[in-house]
Amino acid sequence: MARSRRLQRMSSGSSSSSSSTSPERGADDDNDSFMLQANDSQSSLGLEMSSDMGQDAAAQREYEERCRVSPVARLPAELLISIFARLNAPSDLQSCMLTSKLWAQNSVGLLWHRPAMSRWDSIHSVVSSIRKADKRFAYQDLVKRLNVSTLTNQVSDGTLIGMTECKRIERLTLTNCSKLTDVSLQPLIDGNRSLLALDVTGLDQLTDRTMITVADHCLRLQGLNVSGCKKITDASITAIAKSCRHLKRLKFNGCSQLTDTSLMTVAAHCSALLEIDCHALTNIESPSVTALLTSCPHLREMRLAHCMKINDSAFLNIPYHPDMPYSFDSLRILDLTDCNELGDKGVERIMETCPRLRNLIMAKCRNITDRAVLAITKLGKNLHYIHLGHCARITDLSVEALAKACNRIRYIDLACCSNLTDNSIMKLAGLPKLKRIGLVKCAGITDRSIYALAMMGEMKAGKKSVGQSVLERVHLSYCTLLTLDGIHALLDNCPKLTHLSLTGVQAFLREDLLVYCRDAPPEFNDHQRDVFCVFSGSGVSKLRDHLNLQKANRLAHRMAADRSSTPSVASEYAEAELDIDDENLDSNGSNTPVLNVDVHGSQPAGGTPIASGPASAAHGPHALLTDLPHGQTHWHQNPNAGASNLSQSAPASTNTMIWPPPHQQGQYGQHIQHPLSAGGAQHVTGMMGATVLDDLEEGDEAFGEGSEFMGD
Domain boundaries, the chain: 135-277, 592-712
Indicate the range of 290-294, 551-555, 682-686 predicted with least confidence.
682-686
Q: Rounded CA gap, 610 and 550, in Å?
A: 32
Q: Rounded CA gap, 421 and 163, in Å?
A: 61
Answer whether 304's CB lies under 8 Å from 330's CB: no
**pLDDT for res 631:** 42
**pLDDT for res 29:** 45
Average pLDDT rounded to a whole number, residues 501-529:
95
Indicate the range of 13-22, 81-90, 231-240 predicted with least confidence.
13-22
The answer to whether residue 219 scores a pLDDT higher than 90 is yes
DSSP, res 71: G
**pLDDT for res 583:** 42
The answer to whether residue 552 scores a pLDDT higher than 70 is yes
Report DSSP letters for 502-533, one per residue: -TT-GGG--HHHHTTSPPPPTT--HHHHHH--
Bridge pairing between strands 473-475 and 463-464: unpaired
> Per-residue pLDDT tens for 377-431?
999 999 999 999 999 999 999 999 999 999 999 999 999 999 999 999 999 999 9
Helix (H, G, I), strand (E, B) or coil at 105: helix
> Per-residue pLDDT tens for 466-498?
557 899 999 999 999 999 999 999 999 999 999
More confident residue, 132 or 247: 247
Phi, psi (deg, nearest 5) at residue 662: -55, -35
CB atoms within 10 A of CB 158: 10
The answer to whether residue 53 scores a pLDDT higher than 90 is no
The answer to whether residue 575 scores a pLDDT higher than 60 is no
**pLDDT for res 647:** 38
The answer to whether residue 442 scores a pLDDT higher than 80 is yes
The answer to whether residue 251 scores a pLDDT higher than 90 is yes
Confidence tier at 681 by pLDDT (50, 70, 90): very low
The answer to whether residue 217 scores a pLDDT higher than 70 is yes
More confident residue, 266 or 80: 266
Average pLDDT rounded to a whole number, residues 349-377:
97
Indicate the range of 132-136, 364-368, 372-376 predicted with least confidence.
132-136
> Per-residue pLDDT tens for 631-640?
444 444 444 4
Q: Rounded CA gap, 183 and 206, in Å?
A: 9
- Domain formed by 135-277, architecture: Alpha-Beta Horseshoe (3.80)
Average pLDDT rounded to a whole number, residues 228-235:
97
Please count the CA atoms within 13 angstroms of the CA of 489 that sit on its side-chain side.
20
More confident residue, 320 or 705: 320
DSSP, res 24: P
Share of the chain above pLDDT 70, in %: 68
Please count the CA atoms within 13 angstroms of the CA of 55 that sit on its side-chain side.
5
Residues ≥6 apart with Cβ < 8 Å to 62: none
Q: Rounded CA gap, 674 and 706, in Å?
A: 13
Indicate the range of 177-186, 490-499, 573-582 predicted with least confidence.
573-582
pTM for the predicted model, two decimal places = 0.70
Confidence tier at 308 by pLDDT (50, 70, 90): very high
**pLDDT for res 153:** 84
The answer to whether residue 688 scores a pLDDT higher than 50 is no
Long-range contacts of 258-263, Cβ-Cβ distance < 8 Å, separation of 24 or more: 258/232, 258/233, 258/234, 258/283, 258/284, 259/234, 259/283, 259/284, 260/284, 260/285, 260/287, 260/288, 261/234, 262/234, 262/237, 262/238, 263/288, 263/289, 263/291, 263/292
Nearest to 594, CA basis, from 612, 578, 582 = 582
Q: Would you state the torsion angle of the CA atoms of residues 589, 592, 598, 602, taken in this order, to the nearest 10 degrees?
A: 0
**pLDDT for res 384:** 98
Confidence tier at 627 by pLDDT (50, 70, 90): very low
More confident residue, 387 or 630: 387
**pLDDT for res 52:** 62
**pLDDT for res 216:** 96
Average pLDDT rounded to a whole number, residues 346-374:
97
